[in-house]
Amino acid sequence: MKNRLKVLRAERDWSQADLAERLKVSRQSVNAIETGKYDPSLPLAFKIADLFEMAIEEIFQRE
């Protein structure tokens, strides 16, 4: 699954660690999601969407 997480994070000047802290996940999890090695669970995808005040579909797209 493709995502805009890295771009959205960079627009806010957040490090992966900053984002991980806000989501209560590890920095490694954020990295894995950004690089497409891991697809977030639905609850985590909702947390991400809520944090960025966007719809899930605006952040994550099917390849």
Query: Is 63 domain-assigned?
Result: no
Query: Is 34 domain-assigned?
Result: yes
Is the separation of the CB atoms in 47 and 23 below 8 Å? yes
Query: Is 21 domain-assigned?
Result: yes
Domain count, the chain: 1
Range of the domain at 51: 2-58
> In whole angstroms, what is the distance from residue 62 CA to residue 18 CA?
26
> In whole angstroms, what is the distance from residue 7 CA to residue 19 CA?
12
Q: What is the pLDDT of residue 63?
A: 80
Query: Is 54 domain-assigned?
Result: yes
Q: Which tokens is 55 given?
A: 């719809």
Domain containing 27 — which CATH number? 1.10.260.40
Q: What is the pLDDT of residue 62?
A: 87
Q: Whole-model pTM?
A: 0.92
Q: What is the mean pLDDT of each run of 10 residues along the chain (63 residues)?
A: 96 98 98 96 98 97 87
Query: Is 53 domain-assigned?
Result: yes
